[in-house]
Chains A and B, each alone.
Chain A
Amino acid sequence: MAVLLDTLSWILLLAGSALLIIGGIGLIRFPDFYSRVQAAGLTDTLCSICILLGLMLQAGSITLAGKILFALLFLLFTGPTAAHALAKTAHFDRLEAWKSGDGGASSKR
Chain B
Amino acid sequence: MFRYALSLTLILVVIWLLLSGMWTHPIILPLGAASVILTVWIAFRLEIIDRDTDPLRLMIPSLRYWPWLLGQIVRANLQVASRIIRGQDSLSPRITAVKSTQKSDLGRSIFANSITLTPGTVTIRVRDDDILYYALNEDLIRELDEGEMDRRVTRLEQQL
A-B contact number at CB 8 A: 114
Q: Which of B21, B122, B124 has the most CB of A within 10 A?
A: B122
What is the minimal beta-carbon distance from B84 to any residue of chain A, in angstroms? 4
Asked whether, in the complex, the Cβ of B117 is within 8 Å of the Cβ of A76, the reply is yes
CA distance A26 to B85 in the complex (A): 8
Asked if A55 is an interface residue, CB under 8 A from chain B, the answer is no
Q: Which residues of B contact A87 (CB under 8 A)?
A: 122-124, 134
A84 neighbours in B (Cβ, 8 Å): 112-113, 116, 122-124
A19 to chain B, nearest CB (A): 7
Chain B residues with CB under 8 Å of A38's CB are: 80, 119-122, 136
> CB distance B81 to A83 under 8 Å?
no
A29-B87, A35-B93 as given contacts; A63 in contact with B18, CB under 8 Å: yes
| Cβ–Cβ contact A26 & B124, under 8 A | no
Contact with B along A18-52 (1 / 0, CB 8 A): 01001101100111101101110110111101000
B117 pairs with A80, CB closer than 8 A: yes
CB interface residues, A 58-105, toward B, < 8 Å: 63, 66-67, 70, 76, 79-81, 83-84, 87-88, 91, 97-100, 105
- Chain B's interface size range is 35 or more
B85 touches A22 (CB 8 A): yes
Partner-A contacts on B (CB < 8 A): 15, 18-19, 21, 70, 73-74, 76-77, 80-81, 83-85, 87-89, 91-95, 112-113, 116-125, 132, 134, 136
27 A–B contact pairs at CB < 8 A? A19-B77, A19-B81, A22-B84, A29-B84, A29-B87, A29-B88, A34-B134, A38-B119, A39-B80, A39-B119, A41-B119, A41-B120, A42-B80, A42-B81, A42-B84, A42-B119, A44-B119, A45-B77, A45-B118, A46-B119, A67-B18, A76-B117, A83-B116, A83-B122, A84-B112, A87-B134, A99-B93
